[in-house]
Each structure stands twice: as structure tokens, then as C-alpha cells.
Structure 1
Amino acid sequence: MKTILVTGGTGFIGVPLVKKLNELGHKIKLLVRETSDISPFEGLNNIDYVTGDVRDIESLSKAIEGVDLIYHLAAYTRMWAKDDSIFEEINVQGAENVAKLALERDKKLIYVSSFIALGATPEEPVDESFESEEGQLLDYATTKFEAKKMIKEYVKKGLNVTIFYPGIVYGPRDFNIFGQIIHDITEGSFMGVPGKADKVGSFVYVNDVANGLASVINKDDLKGEEFILAGENVIFNDWINLIAELAGKKKPRHFPMSMGLMYARMCELKTKLTKKMPYINRPTVKMMDYNWSYSSEKAINQLGYKITPLKVGLKKTIEWYEEYIENEKK
């Protein structure tokens, strides 16, 4: 049994990861804020909750005491923030705080990046050696790209870190960009598809990512290694139509990309007045004009990584959203 610190453990990927680590018999220290929702872990033993923040190196330093390794998932993943500096503070400075302490204390670090940090791709799948600044449209994307480069500098300093790049992750409890699409199609409120949606995305079920991350706990020969944890590479339009089919809805209509960008601009203007999260913004719409096509062969061959068939994962996800939508009505 190992003692493991997890940052971002109450997030979309964090919850199934913590449950997997708990199932494997490890003791978990979960870095949480006072506002964190820990209800998914009710009834689970061997979880200690430590109040802190990756931006506060003092609280982070206390949390790291007595652990064998660290999973760093904490990130600000939204498309927008009232104060843009939060992206840099959490995604870059927070990650550096973790890396710095892990190096000082000689702790093994599992750093969870994102496909977005590798950049937009050709149509054919790319591997971990690929890097492009193309498609870095969101503040989240630019800061994850910056953080990846920073972590690699710490590898040169001697940090024992393994870097993971999950693909476009979908599954229960997701209300970021792609999760919102699944929710809205299931609910019957999806407005439609901007442009042709003929580019490729690599969609991965959230539990596959959690299992892939958990697979390296006892591997000590992965210092500086990078792994993509992606899924099936499919055309965006085919992905959207499959969701509609599984949810028993009509195929969503298409409208010109220019109309999608105009609507996104209206959402941005509304946000300036309300200071609330926009339904969509222009960088998010433009993401569908790029390929995000990745190969998980390295993780499959070296870690035994397994990919849930897209249809199976989406069916489970839609069933969760159906129940969620029903509960919303009560």
C-alpha cells in the first residue's frame, strides 16, 4: 500500500482516479478547498482530506508530508474566467509549485497534462513526440502548453515525473465543452453544429484515463516518459450523430461557421454584462475547425492501456445524463 497525494481529485478525471486508487488498496491524501464537493467519496475508507491550494506552497508543502507519490490533476479547465490570471496561477504556477516540492522531497510525480498541450494535428494520429502551437486558442490551452514545457525543464533538474496527455475526455459528471454537447443533445436542447464538423477528434472514456493513470503506480522506470491516453479517432460530425442516435434524437442540424461565431460573439458580449460563464465563445467554436488526432500505441504497448469502444462509453454517459436531466426536473 502506498500513500498518494492527489490534487484535483474532486474533478472530472480525479473522481474515478481516486476511486480506482482506493479500490487498489492505497491510502489517499486528497488536496481540497473548502468549497470542494467530496460527496462522490462517501463510504470510502483510507481517504484523508487536506485543505489547501496548489497556489499556496505552504499548504501544499504540508500536504506532501509522508506521501510516496503525487498525482497532479488540479487545473482550471473552463473556457472563461472573470480574471484571466487564474489560468496562469493554477495551470502553470500551481504545477510548478508541485514540481518544485516533488523535486526537493524526492517524490515521484504523475503530471496530468492534456491533448491540447500537444497542439492541433494532421488528420492522421500523432504520437508523444508531436508538438504544435497551432490550435492554442483558449487560455486553458496556452497555459497547459506552457506548463508542459516547464515540467520538462524540471525533468532536466532531476524530477522523477511521468507526463500524461489525455485525449478529449467524455463521461459522467462532465460539463465542460464536450460534456455540455452530450448533455444538450440528450436533453433535446442542442442548437446545432457550426460548419461541416469534418475534422477528427480523439474521444476517450473517463474511466479509461483513470485506469491508465493508475497503471504506473508501481513502475519505477518511467522518469521523463510521456504517454497519450486517447481513444477512438472519429470525425466530429460522426461523434455528434452517434450521440443523437444513442439518445434517440434526430441528427442535429448544421449552420454556417460564420453563424456559429456570431452567436459565440453574442454570448461573449452577454458575459461582459453578467460576469457569468458564456454558453460558448469563439475560440471554442474554432476548435472544431482543427484535427485533434492522437495515437495511444505507446500506452497500450507499455502500460496495457485499454480503450472502451466509443459506442459503449457514450451509451453509459448518456444514461447518466438522462438520469441527471430527470433529477433536474424534480
Structure 2
Amino acid sequence: MMTTVLVTGASGFIGSHLVSRCLLEKYKVKVLIRKGNPTIDRFRKQGIEVIEGDIRNFEDVRRAVSGCNIVFHAAALTSDWGTMKDFNDINIGGTRNICEAVLECKTERLVYVSSFESFNHSELERIDERTAFSVKNHPYSDTKIGGTETVREYIAKGITASVVYPVWVYGPGDRTLFPIMADILRNSLFFYWKRHARMSMTYIDNLVDLLVLAATLPQAAGEEFLAFDGVDMTFEEFCERLARAVNANPPFIYLPYDLVYMLAGILETVYGILNMPKRPLLTRQAVNLLASRAVVDASKARRVLGWSPAVSQEEGFRRTLEWLKTIDPSEWNIK
């Protein structure tokens, strides 16, 4: 019998690569997509069953989950700017809907895509799957913690699920790290606040490999895994390589972290008072994320699942920069 999988967040970066991989695995693929999404026709032409609906609506979610063997829950509000209600409704409420539907439909396996942002990575310490969560009063990271705790709650109720915490995910199709930083380097006077901050990254194909293993191997059930390729790059090295690739100058100004964090807070306050939908140039979440000092230990995925990154950082960076050159620079600054 053919394995049927549901991918939420299928129009996003991680979800779209997951869909492609599931098709290669000869799975029957379903996606839950909001009405009017421009990817719907493309998915249908690929033979994918499209469920038009909203992750916040339980009936839509149950309809999508029904008949599936595996659910990959990658849908999330991932921005560092937005209302707390939207983050709660999508990242926590949507995850609860998925878990409840998985429980009701007796789905064999759920894989939840959480986030490395759930942990305190600003301190010089080792982080692994046993590290306690860190509430930062940032909507995205705090609601991803809430989503993960919801999955844990439903594991206790009897569902079979795994949680994966990706670090920075990059690769062709990236709509955050590479294009936004390229746009800033080309068009703004950027500066460092932690030039030696660790950029712990995982290439998209490597992450998808891990997600598939988490969905299919019996030893993954009930377990949590960090996804990290194992090679760090400093923020300074990242900016220098990206600047060279887009014919820009790397930052040369250094400002203290505390000052930049305070400025980001002021910008957030002003933008909030003015009800501006566009994100500020700096947010506290972005400043914190680009000040990571933690040492990531992702050995559990290697030890338990036999996972190893098939694409090296050098090759992944090369592929991503080649892809970035193929898209119109006007599309880099994607909100």
C-alpha cells in the first residue's frame, strides 16, 4: 500500500523541499494550503492532493490529516515581526489542531518542525536536546516553544511523534537569511554587534534527510533531534562571503550588543505605535539570533538515526549563492 503523507507549510522554504522529497520517495502527497495561494495550481499539476484550508481551523486540518500515514508539520509564522495573536493562533493553535487530528485519525507518525530559537543560544554553552527552553519574550521563539510543548502533551496522550529543531536553514529557495542579508549588504550601511557570533547552519537537503528519517525509523518515535551540519561559521565570515558574492562591501562598523538591542527595542516600539506592517530594519529577535555563542551538539541524530549531512557547508554555500544570482535582486528583500 502506498504511504500517504501530509505536508503543512508546503508553500514555504522547508515545506516545499519536503514535498519534492516525498514525491521522489513515491509517497502520495497531500498539502494543506490556504485558499488563493499561488502554488495551488503547480501542486495539482504535480499530482498532489491539495486541501484548501487554514491551519487555524480544526475541520480543515482534520480533513487534511484524514487518511495519512505520516504528517510533516512545517507550517508556522516565522517572521520576527507581527502580532502576538497571530503567532499564538498559528504556531500554538495550529499545532494543537494538527495533534488533535493526528490523535483522532490514529495517524502513524507526526514530525514537528520546531526551532533552535527555543533555546538560549546567547551564552557560551553546549546545547543539545536535553537543554531547557528559554522564554525570551519574542513571539516566534516563544510560540515555537509552545508548539513543541503541545506535541509533548499529545505524545503523553498516545500519538507517535518526533520533534526536530533546525538551526539556520539555508539553500536554494531560502526566503530569509540569504536574500534579506544580501539586500541589506547591497542597500544599507550594516554593522556588527557580535562579529564572532556562531552561525550554526544546516543545508536544506540535509534537514529534509533528517525529517524523513524521523518519520520512518522506529527508533525516532517519541524522540527529539537537533539538525546541524556540524560546521560553524562566524557572522563576520558569513557577511564577507555573501558580500563578495553580491558585489557589496562587508560591514566595517562595530557597535556594542546592548546598544543595538536597545535600538531594536525602540524601533519595535515606534513601529508598533504607528501600526506599521513592515518589519523594522532591526528587531530584538534578529539581534539576539545573530549574537549566538552556543556550541550545538547534534550528535544524537547521528547516533540514533544514522544521519549525516550529505551536502558539505562549502557545497551548500556554493549552491545557494549560485541560486541567489539567478533571481532578481528586487526580490531579495522578501517580507
For this structure pair, what is the TM-score category when the shorter chain's length is used for normalisation? 0.7 to 0.9
Deviations 1:265-322 (A, max 9, x none): 3465246436222233233223333324322222223242315332322222222222
3-state secondary structure, aligned to 1:197: coil
Specify whether residues 147 and 43 from structure 1 end up closer, same or farther in structure 2 by C-alpha distance, changes over 3 A only: closer
CA distance in 1, matches of 2:172, 2:41: 12
Specify whether residues 260 and 228 from structure 1 end up closer, same or farther in structure 2 by C-alpha distance, changes over 3 A only: closer
3-state secondary structure, aligned to 2:127: coil
CA distance in 2, matches of 1:19, 1:150: 28
Specify whether residues 148 and 25 from structure 1 end up closer, same or farther in structure 2 by C-alpha distance, changes over 3 A only: same
CA distance in 1, matches of 2:3, 2:34: 23
Specify whether residues 75 and 7 from structure 1 end up closer, same or farther in structure 2 by C-alpha distance, changes over 3 A only: same
C-alpha deviation, 1:140, in angstroms: 0.3
What residue number does 2:129 align with? Answer: 128
Q: Which consecutive aligned stretches of 4+ in structure 1 deviate over 4 angstroms post-superposition? A: 39-44, 326-329
Specify whether residues 307 and 141 from structure 1 end up closer, same or farther in structure 2 by C-alpha distance, changes over 3 A only: farther
3-state secondary structure, aligned to 1:323: coil
Match of 2:323 among 314, 320, 324: 320
300-309 or 72-81: bigger deviation: 300-309
Identity %: 25
What residue number does 1:275 align with? Answer: 276
Deviations 1:86-129 (A, max 9, x none): 10111111101111111222211111101112332643542211
Q: Structure 2 regions of 5+ residues with no counterpart?
A: none
Q: Are 1:183 and 1:321, in contact at CA under 8 Å, matched by a contact in 2?
A: no
Q: 1:258-273 alignment to 2 at 5 Å?
A: 258=259, 261-262=262-263, 265-266=266-267, 269-270=270-271, 272-273=273-274
CA distance in 2, matches of 1:252, 1:215: 39
C-alpha deviation, 1:9, in angstroms: 1.0
3-state secondary structure, aligned to 2:214: coil
Amino acid at match of 1:314: F
Q: Are 2:182 and 2:246, in contact at CA under 8 Å, matched by a contact in 1?
A: no
C-alpha deviation, 1:41, in angstroms: 4.4
What residue number does 1:37 align with? Answer: 38
Q: What is the root-mean-square deviation of aligned Cα atoms in Å?
A: 2.6
Deviations 1:23-51 (A, max 9, x none): 11111010000132317946863311111
Specify whether residues 101 and 263 from structure 1 end up closer, same or farther in structure 2 by C-alpha distance, changes over 3 A only: closer
Alignment of 1:291 onto 2:290:
no
What residue number does 1:201 align with? Answer: 199
268-277 or 138-147: bigger deviation: 268-277
Specify whether residues 179 and 298 from structure 1 end up closer, same or farther in structure 2 by C-alpha distance, changes over 3 A only: farther
CA distance in 2, matches of 1:56, 1:43: 22
Amino acid at match of 1:94: G
Q: Are 1:22 and 1:46, in contact at CA under 8 Å, matched by a contact in 2?
A: no
Q: Structure 1 regions of 5+ residues with no counterpart?
A: none
What residue number does 1:255 align with? Answer: 254
CA distance in 2, matches of 1:161, 1:179: 33
CA distance in 1, matches of 2:331, 2:62: 40
Aligned length: 325
Deviations 1:162-215 (A, max 9, x none): 111111112233333564114433xx2243223232222311122221222123
Amino acid at match of 1:85: K
| TM-score after normalising by structure 2 | 0.87
Amino acid at match of 1:152: R
303-312 or 161-170: bigger deviation: 303-312
Q: Are 1:199 and 1:236, in contact at CA under 8 Å, matched by a contact in 2?
A: yes
